[in-house]
Amino acid sequence: MESLLIGVSDALAAIAARAAPALAAVHVAPGQLQPGLLWRENLVLTAVAGLPALDQVCLGRPGGAIVSGHVMLRDPGNGIAAIGLDSPAAPPGFALAGPTRAGALAMLVGATAEAEPTARLAVVHAAPVADAGLGARLVLDAGLCAGAAGGPVLDAAGCLLGIALASGPDGLARVVPHAVLTTLFSGIAPAAPGRRAWLGLALQPVATRVGGAWRGHGTGRRVMAVEPDSPGARAGITVGDTLLAIDGRPINGQRSLREFLAGERVGQTVDLELARNDVIETRKVTIAPHPND
């Protein structure tokens, strides 16, 4: 009996470990994460409910890398959002599960800040009827804690059943099946970008300080990662700095930063105002073209 339990335990741990390459940790607020699924090499799917209004987000990837992305589509009706990655990742390579039924095992996979997998075992409480269309949902016998929606749900073979949503009124988690995800997102892809301006910074919105150095700047953008030899790195910007304004223009609007960094900005030198250790500094940054353009 002991060896049987050890075998089952090892098999479950292996299923969670195999999910790691397809995981993302979406930074939704300072200190708050929710899991996401690398659906394609340039597209992450997650729950729409927890995302901030701003369209630029940071994502943790396996190994501790922080990458930047932008929200391409919010589908509140189905509860899923699509995030385009600014730099493509390796293809996820997961297998899709076959039909499931009530009583089958399911694993809800979450993500730590470093996009390492977390796992919770559940049982399929109810499978969707065959003709449910886009409204098809799996129902699990477990609820989700805050911040857990958006991660992949796997079957006992480690194949993808779908993406977990928040618990319904009965307290049980819903899962959007992979067939619905394929229908919704098979045709979506990051648009051909043309020429994009690039700072080489992964940024996360943060709330303003009531007093002190940030006063009057609204929200800022915390630097979560700096690409080596990027414009930001050459200007001496470091992780933990908070960007406040570019050429005197606050970057506190929903799309203010992306609008400012349009393609025509490439080659321009701008004044970037930032807060570091409660001191306002200004750095000159020469904007470069995005290396993937």
pLDDT more than 70, % of the chain: 87
Distance CA 224, CA 219 (A): 15
Res. 69: pLDDT tops 50 = yes
Q: How confident is the model over 261-288, as pLDDT tens digits?
A: 766 778 888 899 998 888 889 999 998 8
Of the segments 72-76, 174-178, 208-212, 213-217, which one has the largest average pLDDT value?
174-178
**Which of 21-30, 44-53, 131-140, 259-268 shows the lowest mean pLDDT across its residues?**
259-268
Contact 163, 23 (CB under 8 A): no
- Please state the separation of Cα 71 from the chain's center in Å: 9
| Residue 154 amino acid letter | L
Question: Which pLDDT value is given to residue 189?
Answer: 62
**Which of 21-25, 106-110, 240-244 shows the lowest mean pLDDT across its residues?**
240-244
Question: Which pLDDT value is given to residue 36?
Answer: 96
Beta strands 197-198 and 173-177 are unpaired
**Global pTM value:** 0.76
Q: How confident is the model at residue 200 (pLDDT cuts 50, 70, 90)?
A: confident
Question: Which pLDDT value is given to residue 210?
Answer: 46
Question: Which pLDDT value is given to residue 3?
Answer: 81
Beta strands 242-246 and 173-177 are unpaired
Q: How confident is the model at residue 251 (pLDDT cuts 50, 70, 90)?
A: confident
Bigger pLDDT: 219 or 191?
219
**Which domains are assigned to the chain?**
1-191 (2.40.10.120), 197-289 (2.30.42.10)
| Residue 106 amino acid letter | A
H runs (alpha helix) in the chain: 2-18, 178-185, 231-234, 256-260
Res. 250: pLDDT tops 90 = no
Contacts of 206 (CB under 8 A, 6+ apart): 30, 219, 220, 221, 222, 242
What's the alpha-carbon Rg for the chain, to the nearest Å?
Answer: 21
Identify the bridge partners of residue 283 per DSSP, sorted by sequence position.
Answer: 272
* Closest alpha carbon to 55 in 267, 253, 278, 263: 253
**Which of 50-54, 214-218, 255-259, 267-271 shows the lowest mean pLDDT across its residues?**
214-218
HSE at residue 244, side-chain half, CA atoms within 13 A, is 20
Distance CA 120, CA 55 (A): 30
